[in-house]
Amino acid sequence: MRSIRAGISGCGIGLLLAGCVSQPPVEPPMGVLTHHAAERALVELAPTSGSQVSGRLEVERFGDGVRVTGVVRGLPGAGQYGMHVTSVGDCSHASAMSAGQIFNPHRTAHGEPAMGEHMAGDMANITADASGVARIDQQLAGVTLGGGGYDDIANRAIVVRERAADYRTQPDGGAGARTACGVITVSVPPPQA
């Protein structure tokens, strides 16, 4: 009987330890940012299967977040298209679904960045001209570039969507398929202290 109890106790401790290991890390309080560890990153947007959309973006430290600038080409024509930062920096799947969902460390609802509550990876729709070119200049508040914190977007990805996000449909604004994807790759290391 004693060996059965010892086995159960050992198993119980093992389960307890396993449960502790699988718990998500404790996040800092809302509004508290970790530090930036990089000045700049590049994003080379490559088309997904059947798409012609591509582009090059630059992400740089800016205020309480980052600024995203650049050009997206090959969009189907004049109009608006969704774009967002994803939770995973993996564009390997033909549909770019390997990049995960919209980056959402605060576990909030999808929404328009300029209008209140939204996911950290939500971005404003981009506008293409008649030749299918969109010039990007947007700010994302509340995120960092590098540093490894819960709000860090380095090594995540940016995706372009086939239509505009409506900012109501959960979890991604009903923006349709992903037409391009690129990993946010740090290009300039921080200055040496």
Question: pLDDT tens digits, residue range 34-48?
Answer: 567 888 999 999 999
- What confidence score (pLDDT) does residue 172 get? 80
Q: Model pTM?
A: 0.78
Q: Phi and psi for 154 in degrees, rounded to 5?
A: -60, 140
Percent of the chain topping pLDDT 70 = 77
| Greater model confidence, 96 or 21 | 96
Question: Residues with Cβ < 8 Å from 164, sequence gap 6 or more?
Answer: 79, 80, 81, 82, 125, 173, 175
- What confidence score (pLDDT) does residue 42 get? 96
- CA nearest to 105, candidates 144, 56, 63, 54: 144
CB atoms within 10 A of CB 64: 13
Interior CA angle at 171 toward 95 and 61, to 5°? Answer: 80
pLDDT in tens, 109-163: 776 777 767 788 889 999 999 999 999 999 998 899 988 888 999 999 999 999 9
Instruction: Give the pLDDT band (50/70/90) at residue 188.
Output: low
CA–CA distance, 132 with 168 (Å, rounded to integer): 25
The total number of residues written for the chain in this structure: 193
